[in-house]
Amino acid sequence: MKPSTSLATALVALMASQAAADGVLNLYSSRHYDTDERLYSDFEAATGITINRIEASADELIARMQAEGANSPADILLTVDSTRLERAKAAGLLQSVDSAILEERIPANLQDADNQWFGFSQRARVLFYDKATVTEPPMTYADLADPKYKGMVCIRSATNVYSQSILSAIIEHAGEEAAKEWAAGVVANFARAPQGGDTDQLRGIVSGECDIAMSNTYYFGRALRTPVEGVSDKIDMFGWVFPDQDGNGTHVNISGAGVAANAPNRDNAIKFLEYLASDQAQDYFSAGNDEYPVVAGAPVAAHVAGLGEFKADTVSLSAAAGHLEAAQRIFNEVGWE
């Protein structure tokens, strides 16, 4: 026999209250890095709060939260990009958080304007090139559309969040018309149809299929720290440029998180966000996963720092995320697959 609706609701409420009393945190995460285990275990040791984790792609997690509705056990949504967090916000799946710690430690441009999500690690979007074939590498994102690089560029598809993020930032900076002109120029310079992940763009340089590739720094940083097939053994052939150092600065995207709208353990969820902004957690992001910390003064792993210092674009990722629909339309119009 199925319980009545009212009884089922009461049981859900009882389970939620018991969970809060037992000190748990239900984490929905699209991060899939083994090094994050230290983040979670140290948080548990420091707080006594047990983390229950569900891992899947961000899209799958968002769909799950929507299906679960008000009865969702999710306390935290943790993703590897701001675009998915913005989509979760638009779907009503996140809630605002008032935390003096987060406001003090997380730069304003790396958090949602309504405090519904916060960035906790950064990845710079850098241009890599083959030093043997490219004597005058592109120094700006705009240069990537220069006809002199025709047939030389490898980059990810229009469906990828990193591509969506950078085009959205260009729209925020320069408007849709300029962004469309840039996207069309990049398409004209494709060495091949967009395919694979960031590591595959780097491998394209090694194979000779590409001369120039766009990739997040942490993929290259990982190849410096640990063997990555098809990249690490050819590391000396790579040059790289942090674009737009005389302009807006290099685009960064983030790994970030927000508190679920119906979080049964809201206080624990906020504690977890505040922990991710701690010096200890910020160190793990860099040393363990080759990312840049977001907190000013936090340590940067030596192999990551070795890529060089750079000026980061301070565009509001929250404002840029408002252009995601326009970015997708532009991609379609210029034939960026």
Same fold, 5-121+252-300 and 124-251+319-334: yes
pLDDT for 33 equals 82
Q: What is the dihedral of CA 200, 140, 233, 155, to 10 degrees?
A: 10
Provide the mean pLDDT of the chain. 93
C-alpha to C-alpha distance for 84 and 28, rounded to whole angstroms: 13
Beta bridge mates, 120 = none
SS3 264: coil
pLDDT for 325 equals 96
Domain boundaries, the chain: 5-121+252-300, 124-251+319-334
What DSSP character marks residue 306?
T
Which residue stretches of the chain have pLDDT < 50? 1-21
pLDDT for 15 equals 42
pLDDT for 14 equals 36
Q: How far is CA 92 from CA 178, 200, 212, 255, 258, in A?
A: 32, 35, 40, 20, 12
DSSP letter for each residue of 32-80 = --TTHHHHHHHHHHHH-PEEEEEE--HHHHHHHHHHHGGG----EEEES
Tell me if the pTM is above 0.85. Answer: yes
| pLDDT (tens digit per residue) in 254-280 | 999 999 999 999 999 999 999 999 999
- Name the CATH topology of 124-251+319-334: D-Maltodextrin-Binding Protein; domain 2 (3.40.190)
pLDDT for 22 equals 54
Q: Which CATH number fits domain 5-121+252-300: 3.40.190.10, 3.40.605.10, 1.10.3720.10, 3.30.360.10?
A: 3.40.190.10
Place of tokens 């008032």: 98
